Amino acid sequence: MPAKNKNVESVQKEESLREMTVLSQPDIFKGVYTNLAYIHHTENEFLIDFFLKFAGQTQLVSRVIMSPAHMAAFKKALVENINNFESKYRKKMVSKSKKAKVPPPPPPEQRQAERKTLREYAKRHKEK
């Protein structure tokens, strides 16, 4: 019977989160697209920088700073959502990927240059 109580508590918590009112500035509410992330941590916080990499340029589009406890909860929620997504859409993803033409990876020298740029970024961040 304790499992049933736990499920009821879980559902109640989920429902209360759905009813949450969120205030936001329009630019933040619309969100940003990112296709690259850099994660750094210290003893007291996690820092996630989100980048948009396009046409040979990389632009920082957002930075999120979280406590280790919040990062652990975020990780749990992320894993759960990825699992739900994959169980719902995996067949569609696989069938589309067979049809889609995937571009070849960039040449090794371009990948090395990108890694060097991220290492320099990380080094500058650590120095601050």
Number of structural domains the chain divides into: 1
Q: What is the mean pLDDT of residues 5-33?
A: 71
Kindly state whether residue 8 falls inside one of the protein's structural domains: no
Kindly state whether residue 1 falls inside one of the protein's structural domains: no
Kindly state whether residue 4 falls inside one of the protein's structural domains: no
Kindly state whether residue 7 falls inside one of the protein's structural domains: no
**pLDDT higher at 60 or 112:** 60
- Report pLDDT digits (tens) over 70-128: 999 999 999 999 899 988 888 776 666 566 566 667 777 777 777 777 777 777 766 65
Q: Which domain holds residue 117?
A: 17-127
Strand partners, 32: none
Q: Rounded CA gap, 77 and 80, in Å? A: 5
Outline where DSSP puts E strands in the chain. Answer: 36-41, 46-54, 57-66
**pLDDT higher at 15 or 93:** 93
- Report pLDDT digits (tens) over 29-57: 888 999 999 999 999 999 999 999 998 89
